[in-house]
Amino acid sequence: MAHPSVLIVRLGCPDFALFFGPSGLILALFLRKSGPVRIIDKERTHRIGSRGAGIMPRTLEMYATLGVLDDILAGAGTMAPTAVYEFGELTPKATSRSLHIKSRPQTFFTYAIIFLQALQDRHEEILRAHLAKLSCTVELGAELRSFENVVAKIADGTESEETATFEWLVGTDGARSVVRSASSAKLTRRLP
């Protein structure tokens, strides 16, 4: 494999509230189809557990483009029933296995609005398997120590530290991103 032009960083964190989704793996799949990608993850093992299990229609379209949709659907299940109650009532006003929210604009996968779920660890396992088919694996126990522009210092969990140059450095490590923090990028939130 040629020298990777993109480094994707995932920051391990024992705090479950900071658990992030499979966005880095999805990005890696898209980018790997165009060239070499390197993914590092500070964690020493792949995570077990899930925060967000719903799969949205636009995500399904993206998975179809990536060629992973069949495996994701095979690993997904349906959401548990939801009951809607009026305040003070003991009988549900309505029950549903999906929220049936209309997608704007319309998508091919309209049936799937929060109807399908794939537990995050299983979801990531499927994405990693597809990356492996493209000769790309997640380097566990590797941590981005520092970077300047696109030159990164990466520790492998031992005493050694490597310096590597990339064309792009992508932080998919959540709100407390080491990449975002070090680059002084501000995380802003706009309320509707």
Does a structural domain hold residue 123?
no
Task: Please state, in angstroms and rounded to a whole number, the distance separating the CA atoms of residues 56 and 60.
Answer: 6
- Is 28 within the bounds of a domain? yes
Domain extent, residue 106, equals 54-118
Say whether pTM exceeds 0.85: no
The closest alpha carbon to 124, from 33, 31, 38, 52, belongs to: 52
Q: Could you list the beta-strand ranges (E) of 86-150.
A: 94-96, 116-117, 138-140, 143-148
Domain presence at residue 126? no
Distance of CA 132 to CAs 119, 124, 135, 160, Å? 20, 12, 5, 26
Determine, yes or no, domain membership for 127.
no
Domain boundary (118, 152, 173) is at 118
**Tens place of pLDDT for every residue, the chain, 192 residues?**
455 666 766 544 333 223 345 888 888 898 888 888 888 888 888 877 666 667 777 788 889 999 999 998 887 776 667 778 888 888 888 776 655 545 555 666 655 444 566 677 888 899 999 999 999 988 888 888 888 888 888 888 777 898 988 888 887 766 666 776 776 666 566 555
Residue 36 lies in a domain: yes
The count of domains in the chain is 2
What's the angle, vertex CA 68, arms to CA 46 and CA 1, rounded to 5?
70
Contact by Cβ (8 Å): 114, 100: no
User: End of a domain among 91, 118, 145?
Assistant: 118
C-alpha angle 143-14-39 in degrees, rounded to nearest 5: 30
